[in-house]
Amino acid sequence: MLQFEDIQLSLFGVAAILDTAVMAVLVERRNWPRVLLPLVLLIGGAWAYHVGAFFHVALFSAGPWADSLQWVSMVMMAFGLGLQPSAALHLWLRIRRSGFETRPPVSKRYGILYAPLLCLAPVAAQLWLEPRGYFTQIIGPVVVPFVAWLMLANAVAGVGAFILASHFSDTRERSFLRVLGLALVGVTWVEGFAVVVGPDLWPEQRSVLLVLGTLGPVALTLVLVYVIVRFQLMQLVLKQSVFYAALVSVVVLLHQALLRDIWANLEAALHLDAVLLESLLVLALVSLVRPLRERVSEALRYLLGERVGAMRVRARELAVQMSAMFNEPAERVLQWFVAAVGPMFGVDYVAIWLLEPGIRITTCSGDSSRLDNQAVLDLYAHLEDHRLVACQRSDAPTREVASSLLMAGASLSVALRHPSVQGVMVCGARRFHRELSDEQMGVLVMLVEQLGITLNNGLLQSQRSRAERLALQNEKLSTLGLVASSIAHEVKNPLSSIKTIASVMAEDAEVGSEQARDLRLIVDEVNRLASSVDAILKFARPVKGQNAHTDVAAAIEGTLRVMRHVAKQHGAKIAAEIADDLPAAAADENAVREVVFNLLANAIRAAAVGGNVSLSVRKDGGRVVVEIHDDGPGVPPQIQDRLFEPFVTNHDDGFGLGLYVVSRRMRDVGGSIICDSHPDRGTLFVVEFPGVDGDAQ
């Protein structure tokens, strides 16, 4: 049978463990400057009382060697009982005077509140004379005065704290004071009833009532700590390990005191060893309860030597290095990341794909041959559908995900999500096919998120650089426009005057004379110079495409007749295919000719001797699409993203204005142009002219 002494000892032990855990948090080095001293004394009194009560009961039947420990235990009980009411009054008056300021000026006037502790000396002397007796029997003469003092102090402090709450505007501070007031008054009534009133009403339950009165401060401690943590009143730093240790200690204590007889009866009835029964029960709990299984797995990894301290240091180093790589190309960042992460987590390979979800893969790095493109897109889609950041093969949400990882020989996948960067990372198997621990998974996910931030910052930096280059080019173009206007003003008007005078003089000169020939030469040269000035002005002048109707086929055929001669001179061939049902383009004919002329000229130059240039014109809805392709060496990658900027060229004798003029004309008419160039496939330009509204219908 379970004895009352066993229950009493277990409850006192639980109270002592909980108070110890709370005190460990309050006096911890980081928390000590933030807590109120009287609050620590209040909870410290409960701790001293419960620890002393536990050892008093536990050592009651021990031998003579335990007499000194019994005396220490009872003195601790007396000290804790005397300290609690004084600390409660101190806490109320302290908050009333200085609020929740943690380090106010020291006031010696609070010392008077602890004067009742002077009575501890005669009580300790009495306890020394009778170390083998019950605590309540030995201090019997002072029980009633102490209970009266306790009830008075707690009642005053509790009611005072509850009234004081209305003077504070902070919700957290008001909540703390109200809970403090209610808890103090509640503890007062419980202890008064358990010690003074209850024993007279139910004398046979005296022991139970004394235990109830003893445990009253535990409720006060737990309620105050809950409010402090719930509202972050003092910004305490809680160590979960302290509470885990307290929980384990409570479980062991309750098991020893409460379940010992139960297991003994089961052992006798089933003829099985109790240790075996407990082992089977623990195994079942660990197997069925997932949070418990994960905690046990994490603890075993630590016990078996798998430390994460070095991994954390390495993760910080990689994060710092990544933050400095924002200006590097995405391909180089990915290559560096793959090379760094693989050895860190002990996987046999790492592969990363950046993609436009559901559309295509833009960049890949690492051992990307493990999965084909469609499998990568499907894997990312499954992770998105199930809102997963990371997924190990054993936790795959669908069979498709598990099959993809198995096919790639991978142990896990991590989704890369950022407003402008999306992708997926796949890691290979680890040694002995071990899975990553929870902390390792957390570090890996953090590094992948940092990778997304780095890539996004690189994209923003690239956009800013492009904007700066565009601003610089616009400044150059503005300067060029001013120069062109100056030429028009300073050169064209004098040329007009020269042409007029020369023409008049030519009319007066004798036909066929040498003077007439010279004057005609002057007029021709003036016309040529005027054309050059017009060409410069034409570069900066927008094309007026409004209300324009151009037969694209006719305009391109006229340009082709000229460009075929040019191609013949360069040893290249032009193949053209023009559809018959083309709509009219909403663009000026000169703009169409200029665009096609420049693109064909570049294609012929790129194709060179023996090369081929193809031109096709077709209808796409209400738009006219012109495609010009050459089988030349392609555009160098370093200038592909700046191809349509002014003064960007791949030729030593070029000015880099042809493609800029083309893109400018297409913007003016509301069309578009794109370039797709590869060293092994040549260069393709796709131009779309808007159709006239009537034809587009």
SS3 632: coil
The CATH class that applies to domain 4-238 reads mainly alpha
SS3 414: strand
Residue 30 neighbours by CB distance under 10 Å = 11
> What single-letter amino acid sits at 349?
Y
Kindly report the CATH number that applies to the domain delimited by 309-463.
3.30.450.40
State pLDDT tens for residues 285-322.
766 776 666 666 666 655 545 556 677 788 888 888 88
462-497 b/e with 16+ CB inside 10 Å = b?
eeeeeeeeeeebeeebeebeeebeeeeeeeeeeeee
**Is pLDDT at 696 greater than 50 in this prediction?**
no
Q: How far is CA 588 from CA 549, 550, 594, in A?
A: 7, 6, 10
User: What sign does the CA torsion over 200, 201, 205, 211 have?
Assistant: negative
8-state DSSP, 194 = I
Whole-number Å distance between alpha carbons of 560 and 549: 20
**Is pLDDT at 151 greater than 80 in this prediction?**
yes
Name which residue leads in pLDDT, 427 or 326. Answer: 427
Whole-number Å distance between alpha carbons of 669 and 544: 8
> What single-letter amino acid sits at 146?
F
pTM equals 0.45
- β-bridge pairing 350-356 and 421-428: antiparallel
State pLDDT tens for residues 374-393.
888 888 888 888 888 888 87
Nearest CA to 56 out of 79, 35, 28 is that of 79
SS3 618: strand
Whole-number Å distance between alpha carbons of 52 and 73: 4
Name which residue leads in pLDDT, 18 or 691. Answer: 691
Q: What value does the mean pLDDT of the chain take?
A: 78
**Is pLDDT at 614 greater than 60 in this prediction?**
yes
> What single-letter amino acid sits at 39?
L
Per-residue DSSP letters for 548-612? --B-HHHHHHHHHHHHHHHHHHHT-EEEEEE-S-PPPBSS-HHHHHHHHHHHHHHHHHHH-TT-E
**Is pLDDT at 686 greater than 90 in this prediction?**
yes
Whole-number Å distance between alpha carbons of 590 and 596: 10
Q: What is the mean pLDDT of residues 66-88?
A: 86
The residue count for the chain: 697
Listed in sequence order, the DSSP H helices in 193-305 are 198-201, 206-230, 240-258, 260-270, 274-288, 290-303
Domain ranges of the chain: 4-238, 239-288, 309-463, 552-696
pLDDT of residue 533: 67
Element (H, E) at 653: none
Whole-number Å distance between alpha carbons of 113 and 90: 7
Lowest model confidence (mean pLDDT) among 72-76, 153-157, 343-347, 456-460? 456-460
Nearest CA to 54 out of 73, 81, 69 is that of 73
Kindly report the CATH number that applies to the domain delimited by 552-696.
3.30.565.10
State pLDDT tens for residues 54-64.
887 777 655 56
User: What sign does the CA torsion over 245, 249, 255, 260 have?
Assistant: positive
State pLDDT tens for residues 510-555.
655 777 777 777 877 777 677 666 655 665 555 454 557 888 888 8
Lowest model confidence (mean pLDDT) among 60-64, 331-335, 599-603? 60-64
- β-bridge pairing 672-678 and 682-689: antiparallel
CA atoms within 13 A on the CB side of 227: 19
510: which 2 tokens?
Answer: 């004798």
